[in-house]
Structure 1
Amino acid sequence: MITAPDTLAGRLTRTLTLWVGAVWILCVLAVVWYVDREINKNFDNELVEVSHRMFDIAVEELDRRQPEVRPGAPLIAPTPLFPDAAVIYQLVDRDDRVLLRSAETPPDTFAVPNKPGFANLEAWRIYTVRHPTRELFLQVADPVSDRRKALNHTMLGLLIPLVAVMPLLALLLRRIARGELQVLRELADEIARRSGADLRPITLPGLPRELKVVGDDVNRLLERLSQALDVERALAANAAHELRTPLAAARLRLQTALDHDLRRSDVQAALNALHTLAHRAEKLLQLSRAESGASLARGRVDLVRLAATVAQEFWQEDRARDRLDLEVPETDAAPIVMGDFDALAIALRNLIENGLNYAGESRVLVEVTADCHLIVRDAGPGVSEAELGNLKQRHQRYTAERTGYGLGMSIVATIIAKHGARLELRSPPAGLVTGFEARIVLPPA
């Protein structure tokens, strides 16, 4: 083959050449069938025309030589009736006696019934015509080999160009295939140039529809890879930012305890620092999971059950047992949304934790509405309008006196965005003078 079969251009060239050749051959066969019909039709018309033209001439020849007629011995025409073409014929009566025949007539040429019309033998096509006034029949024979020869010439005239053109067609198809596949090579080159340091989308104008789909899918893959790398870098940056202080505090406290014979206050301070470290590590893992969107399920979530489960966890703690309230809708149909139960629980847990941390001595209310809203509200000091706009950014704390790492609200915002929902923040809530409200607006299932 002209092109290597292991290349796409080679496969296309080979397949197209074979199919074009096959279609061409089918067309040739159809043309041959049609031409065969036309050749037979033309030869038959010519045979009929010759028969009618020479009938009277043959009858005149018979009448002129009537004295020479002998029983069982037909007269032989001395010269062809048509000098430019030898015509094989014979003149018979109604009793099938041959009265006159051409000198070129081979034996058994007219072994057909004496009946007007066409008849076929293996080597001859016979036409019989009856005289309009006398009981005489003229039979004219046309060799089938002439018809076959004309048909063979037609077939050769169609097949020889095919054989001659096929190599040129293969070359042309190869060039066309290579030209059309150039854009595929460009796309492959663009994909090959992408790396962890270069995840820009691929932009190639003029892509055909099939390759545009591939390019769009590759761009989506590059976007997911870029997001995954961003999450990894953010986790590293957040870990460096958030874990440095508690690690240093734990080391300092433990070293102080060793230097002072393990004083209880120093050991307790070290334990507190390690607790802070574990808490921050948990927050970082939550944020990493939320930003990556990993393992987010899509199932039916009962918001009443979700809120009750999270509240029950806090009611196990002394600080929240008397400060956390839960309010659910009084209806038999529980509000159901599509989402990830665990991820939404993390978001709600962070909102409640922020409320307990920043609301002072105020009570914190968790409310579930029938229209699929999750609300965490307190009547604490609240935040200013300027601070309210920055709460969704990581490492933002709105009270310096309270414990917080600036990650909780960022985790919530990320999880809610992954669910296609909204996070609305208000300070103060509607109907209160002070306080803070975080509302998660989820689309119903």
Structure 2
Amino acid sequence: MNSIRIRLFIVLVVATGIVWLSAFAWVQQSTRTKVERVLDARLAEAGQMVSSLISDQRIDVARTASAFADAATGDALRSSGYSHKLSCQIWSLDGALVGSSQSAPTERLTNQNTGFSSSVVDGERWRVYSVVNEALGMRIMVGDSYTVRDRLVTDVTKGLALPALLMFPIMASLILLSVQRGLAPLERMAAALSQRPADDLSPVVVAPLPREIKPMGDALNGLFSRVDAMRDREKTFTSFAAHELKTPLAGIKTQAQVAEMATDPEMRTQALQRIQFGVERADRMVRQLLALASLDRHSAGTERAADARSVVEAVASDLKRLADDKNVSIQIDWRSDVRTQVNSILLTAALRNVLENAVIVSPNGAEVKIIFTAEENRLLVAVLDRGSGIPEDDRVRITDRFYRGKDAKEGGSGLGLSIVATAMQRLGGTVSFQTRPGGGEIVTLAFATA
């Protein structure tokens, strides 16, 4: 059963039915109790009345029970079907039957001397009230059948139950109508979503939304906003990537044409060197684009976990050839022996780009230093170079995608530090930049220890 409407309808109808049945049982029990109290009071009054008539000698004792029965069962009561079971017996204290009403059984109504009692006479249950007239030596017994009482209770409860049963279909219809009206905002939202084009990620406006549905609407609009931002970022990424790749590819094509037409060996050699430079630039840019695309869908976790020291050593080893070509040395200063597991993909992406930039911007014969240290509950990996540093005006935007500072060297794409910032964000860490005393830059990667 996947329909919320049907489930709500069934739950509400069943719950209302249970409440009604409980109320019906309570009313029936309450009615029975009150009817018994009323009829018991009637029995007591009737018994006292017979005793009073006998004491005042207003009527003959032998006729008292019959006269009482005639008075208690008038024409109106006879037609009601409730009065014919009211019976009276008068017994002497020595056990002789003095008189009885016509409807009274031949057997003694009860063996209890005074007060209320219940008994079975001729297979029928009776409720009896007994009173003793000491002056005349008489015991008066007035009783009615439980059959009459049960019929009274049944008739009262039927009078309550029949209207309720007749109202039940109306109630079910009202519940169904209420459920449909309550779910109408969801249907309006579904209609609004089904009618909009696929490229429309603007917030869904379906007013007014009930308080219970508003969080879902806000969450949906939040999702649209995030998807729209991601789509814009992908558009920008694709546009900038195409533009940035176009430059080195155009340069490679031009230099290839120059090499083909060159008759001078020196000119051909220079053209081939420029082709190699263009290929390296394009290769680096493609690697960075792939790394950035991977980071956009990657999150920090325990997958590909490795020791942070091992990651630093591996990255330094991978870039040794580049450093040798630039006549730059890479030195690692281990100031802490802390061992902690970290996502190797994210830390490798961040450290590789920082270290690669440091090697590229460093002058010939310079040294790039990596300082590995611990501070409280964090690990710090600082990369120090002797390059030209980052101008103050560029520091605010230095981690933006495809942003290249005004003093950036030829061959850069503006992606390296953006990759660093993204990777550290996924890793739950930070990247900071600081001017190095004596020239150069200090880039520090900080992340929590496991």
Structure 1 stretch displaced more, 276-285 or 53-62 = 53-62
**How far apart in 1 are the matches of 2:393 and 2:212?**
50
Alpha-carbon spacing, 1:147–1:63, altered in 2? closer, same or farther (3 Å): closer
Task: Kindly report the root-mean-square deviation, in angstroms, between the aligned alpha carbons of the 2 structures.
Answer: 3.4
Alpha-carbon spacing, 1:48–1:20, altered in 2? closer, same or farther (3 Å): same
Identify which of 166, 169, 174 aligns with 1:167: 169
Structure 1 stretch displaced more, 185-194 or 165-174 = 185-194
Counterpart of 2:78?
Answer: none
- Tell me the amino acid that sits aligned with residue 381 of structure 1: S
> Where does the alignment leave 5 or more consecutive residues of structure 2 unmatched?
74-85
Pairwise CA distance, 1:43:
0.6
**How far apart in 2 are the matches of 1:62 and 1:401?**
134
Counterpart of 2:294?
Answer: 289
Identify which of 389, 403, 410 aligns with 2:411: 403
> Where does the alignment leave 5 or more consecutive residues of structure 1 unmatched?
66-74
Identify which of 235, 243, 246 aligns with 2:245: 243
1:319 and 2:318 equivalent? no
Pairwise CA distance, 1:405:
1.8
Alpha-carbon spacing, 1:216–1:409, altered in 2? closer, same or farther (3 Å): same
Pairwise CA distance, 1:92:
1.6
**How far apart in 2 are the matches of 1:31 and 1:304?**
80
Counterpart of 1:368?
Answer: 372
Alignment of 1:3-402 (within 5 A): 8-58=4-54, 75=62, 80-81=67-68, 83-86=70-73, 88-108=87-107, 110-113=108-111, 115-117=113-115, 118-121=117-120, 122-133=124-135, 135-192=137-194, 196-202=198-204, 207-208=209-210, 210-252=212-254, 265=269, 270=275, 272-290=277-295, 292-297=296-301, 302-317=307-322, 318-319=324-325, 322-329=328-335, 331-334=336-339, 336=340, 340-361=343-364, 362-371=366-375, 372-393=379-400, 394-399=402-407, 401-402=409-410
**How far apart in 2 are the matches of 1:141 and 1:297?**
87
Alignment of 1:420-435 (within 5 A): 420-426=428-434, 428-429=435-436, 432-435=437-440
Alpha-carbon spacing, 1:111–1:28, altered in 2? closer, same or farther (3 Å): same
Alpha-carbon spacing, 1:395–1:182, altered in 2? closer, same or farther (3 Å): same
Alignment coverage as a number of residue pairs:
423
**How far apart in 1 are the matches of 2:194 and 2:158?**
52
Identify which of 411, 415, 426 aligns with 1:418: 426
Is the Cα contact below 8 Å between 2:53 and 2:59 reproduced in 1? no
Is the Cα contact below 8 Å between 2:399 and 2:418 reproduced in 1? yes
Is the Cα contact below 8 Å between 2:118 and 2:125 reproduced in 1? no
Measured against aligned partners, the alpha-carbon deviations of 1:331-382 in whole angstroms (never above 9, x if no partner) come to 4434x48x63212211111111111111222321122231222222112222
- Tell me the amino acid that sits aligned with residue 316 of structure 2: A
**How far apart in 1 are the matches of 2:197 and 2:367?**
52
Alpha-carbon spacing, 1:294–1:231, altered in 2? closer, same or farther (3 Å): farther
* Secondary structure of the structure 1 residue equivalent to 2:319: helix
**How far apart in 1 are the matches of 2:273 and 2:235?**
34
Pairwise CA distance, 1:79:
5.1
Is the Cα contact below 8 Å between 1:314 and 1:321 reproduced in 2? no
Is the Cα contact below 8 Å between 1:199 and 1:223 reproduced in 2? yes
Q: TM-score, normalised by structure 1?
A: 0.82
Is the Cα contact below 8 Å between 2:65 and 2:99 reproduced in 1? no
Is the Cα contact below 8 Å between 1:379 and 1:436 reproduced in 2? yes
